[in-house]
Amino acid sequence: MSESLPDVPRHSAFFFDFDGTLVAIAPRPDLVAVEPHVRDVLAALSEQFGGALAIVTGRPLDVVDGFMAPLRLATAAEHGSVRRDASGGMHIDKGNAAAVEAAHAALEAFAEDKAGLLLERKSSSVALHYRARPELAAACQAAVETVVADNPELVVLPGKMVFELKPKGVDKGEAVRAFLAEAPFRGRTPVFIGDDVTDEHAFAVVNALRGISVKIDDGDTLARYRTDRKGLFDWLFQLVERV
């Protein structure tokens, strides 16, 4: 599946989701592979567009850096709770740490006797992965909803075979807004590419700013364009080669 994607203004800023967009989904988060052409095109785009390129992901920052090395890009990690700007400055939201820790403890107790569930503790959120046990989706949903009822400072963010609990007011749309308030992103047309429900906040922000929003693969979305990963990289290399 792929459709024609637009040309972009020369004064654009690029924002990329990681899993399902820059890399294919894997059975476990640690098993994804970054193909060499991914680093190549991101490096070329960053150079061509004045460094206005960032990754916006639910992953922890050190994990993204490990996968992307030797590239070290501006990154909003954990949906924006941890953000490294283009100059290397760090912006960290440490609010609601007690609620996140309580959520982790409760979900750890829930998952301990259910082989195949993966509980991922991040610095400011907790993710319960059930890709290896899809039949437990309803039970996992009930568990995270109970945790949020007990910890109303948190919200549930459903994704592809995962439920993530994170503080209210933290999402990819707000992360994009923060980048756009800073150099070298300020004043540019935003381009956001993502594949999951966690990217919808960013699509909404980009659409409101008359930018370009691209959804990878199927599913309901606010994005104005849709393609698959092959179509995405064909498009990106065309943008790089147009100069």
Catalytic residue numbers read 17
Where do we find the tokens 């919808």?
A: 200
* Backbone torsions φ then ψ of 50, nearest 5 degrees: 65, 30
With a CB cutoff of 8 Å and minimum separation 6, the contacts of 191 are 8, 12, 13, 14, 15, 206, 211, 212, 213, 214
Closest by alpha carbon to 53, among 24, 85, 9? 85
Tokens of 44: 């070329």
**What is the rounded CA–CA span in Å between residue 20 and residue 218?**
12
Tokens of 113: 């006797």
Tokens of 62: 């050190």
Per DSSP bridges, beta strands 12-16 and 53-56 are parallel
Q: How far is CA 189 from CA 10, 84, 227, in A?
A: 9, 20, 20
Cis peptide leading into 36, omega within 30 of 0? Answer: no
